[in-house]
Amino acid sequence: MRAARATLFQNRERSALPFPDPGPLAPAPPLMTTVFIISAPSGSGKSTLVKRLLAGVPGLMFSISYTTRKPRGEEKEGENYRYVSREAFECKVERGEFLEWARVFDNYYGTHKGILEEAQAAGCDLVLDIDVQGARQLRDKISGAVTVFILPPSKQILEQRLRARGEDPDAVIQRRLRDAAEEIRNYNQYDYVLINRDLPESDAILSAIVHAERVRRTRILDRIEPILETFKD
């Protein structure tokens, strides 16, 4: 979980003691959830980096998207995605259940509204692994969301990574490369751009972004103000 809040001292009086008696602790106000939106072309290493981020940084919750596509490889229901039929997904769209949704490669993907409430209730920050379309929708809906675009070092390396997965025929790989060129043109819409050349280095940079955003002045005013109060006569 995230680092404990600074303690608020109440009823302070001048004392001969080296430090004043803090008295009873005031209840801490609820933590505000920071939303981290991470996007990348398919094959850029986004899923691996997100997995390492969740394992290495405490206090993060992963938003499990809904999708109509079939599981790949060792993907599991409720861990990688929530797999639903096209009909079920479209019903959720009609009921307004998604924060964002998009059609990608002939399949639907969407982020359910309930995940943000779950993160807030748990006192966690929320990590979303979504495409450029979904990120664009969420930036308009979630004030203060932090956006990160993961960029492959080159088209050639991206193609090598896509082929190394051994999941797609050549026609699909070529389509992913064309779509990647379009997605990459949107890099300037993101707060951070991480060029994924080396996995350990990229892992460290992504973790540093999360840690830095957690101490951004505007995010911790509720922790700063009680400290300032202790310096008032």
- pLDDT given at position 12: 28
The CB-based long-range contact list for 140-144 (8 Å cut-off, 24+ gap) reads 141/99, 141/100, 142/35, 142/99, 142/116, 144/34, 144/35, 144/218, 144/219
**Which residue(s) pair with 213 in the sheet?**
none
- pLDDT given at position 74: 77
What global pTM score does this model have? 0.79
- pLDDT given at position 32: 64
- CA separation for the pair 15, 107 (Å, rounded): 68
- CA separation for the pair 75, 182 (Å, rounded): 27
Q: Write the pLDDT tens digit of every residue in 138-164.
A: 888 888 899 999 999 999 999 999 999
Half-sphere exposure of 206 (CA within 13 A, CB side): 34
- pLDDT given at position 11: 30
- CA separation for the pair 86, 68 (Å, rounded): 6
Q: Which residues of the chain have pLDDT under 50?
A: 1-31
- pLDDT given at position 40: 95
- pLDDT given at position 15: 31
Q: What angle do CA 1, 81, 160 make, to 5 degrees?
A: 100
- pLDDT given at position 16: 33
- pLDDT given at position 3: 39
- Selecting from 3.40.50.300, 3.40.50.720, 3.40.50.1980, 1.10.760.10, what CATH number does the domain 38-227 have? 3.40.50.300
Residue ranges per structural domain of the chain: 38-227
